[in-house]
Amino acid sequence: MRSFAGKGAFVTGGASGIGLALGRAFAAEGMKVMLADIEQGALDQAVAALRETGAEVRGTLCDVSDRAAVERAAALTIAAFGKVHVLCNNAGVGVGGAPIDETAPADWEWAIGVNLMGVIHGIAAFLPKIRAHGEGGHIVNTASMAGMMSGPMMAPYNVTKFGVVSLSESLAAELNGSGIGVSVLCPGWVNTAIGESQRHRPARLGPPQTPTPLALERRAQITALLRAGISPDEVAARVMAAIRDDDLYVFTHSVMRAALEERFRRIRAAYDKADAFKP
Ligand SMILES: NC(=O)c1ccc[n+]([C@@H]2O[C@H](COP(=O)([O-])OP(=O)(O)OC[C@H]3O[C@@H](n4cnc5c(N)ncnc54)[C@H](O)[C@@H]3O)[C@@H](O)[C@H]2O)c1
């Protein structure tokens, strides 16, 4: 996608962090922006801040894990803007902190509902509407480097982010040649509020598990890494470039390349072993 002015963008998790930065970047390009989020207070503030730039910005309360709510938000956006060209399935929660065998089913449900089903609902609700206007567009799904490599104590998060990478690769294959591009955003550490995701934990899932000393230690490490992370605006600038260039993969941390290469090396070594295997 090369031209942005006057076109419509829908961003989930738009009240904070990377989503808000994406909204800011789209507004700066003269797009009409709908921010969708579960947190009303932060959403109101985000909409007010972006409106100060003179952009056409609106907000809608929407829990992305709820298919009907996402469908309603899509209908509202079309009613407001006429068309949507850019969809960012960005809302996410940092769920984890325990070994797999000690992770509560409720935590799996929460992570899968928001991080994976949220993206699936976004595509189902908006893709037909993007196709229908025939002007092309772009879908950006926020995964993570956790969708490329699996560290300990964060399995619910890692599994959903690998899912988002797979979903995006599948979608790109399905939309090849359609004029609708697909990008999967895989950032490393970004200085946002993702470490405070418990603020969004649905009451129906019950209270969080009491963290073990090991989990508390890991949480403190993650908080420090997030605070030292890059700015959400830097991530949004990378996304803008990826939409322009129609790039499938969007990385932000070249420092993490070596760890990814190590994963590929082990996969290649396993293939070498398979090639040499004689039953
Ligand atoms: N911060 C990082 O280091 C980092 C790294 C890789 C990937 N990511 C991903 O980036 C995305 C954005 O996160 P962020 O870092 O900006 O964190 P953030 O907490 O600042 O923003 C997440 C937003 O999602 C919203 N949200 C949470 N649950 C929701 C739901 N059910 N429905 C709708 N909105 C909901 C929150 O209210 C919040 O505004 C997430 O998908 C996250 O997994 C973040």
Q: Each residue of 102-127: pLDDT tens digit?
A: 999 999 999 999 999 999 999 999 99
17-28 helix and 232-245 helix, angle to the nearest 10 degrees = 50
Residue 173 lies in a domain: yes
- d(CA 81, CA 73) in angstroms, rounded, equals 12
Total structural domains within the chain: 1
Q: Which tokens is 210 given? A: 């009491």
Residue 276 has pLDDT above 90, yes or no: yes
Mutate to test the pocket of ligand 1, among 200, 219, 226 (most ligand atoms within 8 A of CB): 200
- 141 CB near ligand 1 (under 6 Å): no
Residue 170 has pLDDT above 90, yes or no: yes
Which CATH number goes with the domain that contains 29?
3.40.50.720
| Ligand 1: nearest atom to the Cα of 161 | 43
Q: Which tokens is 208 given? A: 């969080």
pLDDT score for 106: 94
Question: In the structure, what pLDDT confidence band is assigned to residue 219 with cuts at 50, 70 and 90?
Answer: confident
Residue 24 has pLDDT above 90, yes or no: yes
- 95 CB near ligand 1 (under 6 Å): no
- d(CA 233, CA 106) in angstroms, rounded, equals 33
Question: In the structure, what pLDDT confidence band is assigned to residue 198 with cuts at 50, 70 and 90?
Answer: confident
Percent residues over pLDDT 70 in the chain: 100
Rounded to the nearest angstrom, the distance between the alpha carbon of 114 and the centre of ligand 1 is: 10
Residue 3 lies in a domain: no
- 63 CB near ligand 1 (under 6 Å): yes
Residue 2 lies in a domain: no
Reported as type and span, the H/E element at residue 59 is strand 57-61
Q: Which of 10, 110, 157, 251 is catalytic?
A: 157
Domain extent for 133: 8-276
Average per-residue pLDDT for the chain: 96
List pLDDT tens digits, range 59-86: 999 999 999 999 999 999 999 999 999 9
Identify the weakest region by mean pLDDT among 80-89, 145-154, 207-216, 252-261. Answer: 207-216
- d(CA 278, CA 272) in angstroms, rounded, equals 12
Active site residue 249: no
Residue 229 lies in a domain: yes
Which amino acid appears at position 224 of this protein?
A: A
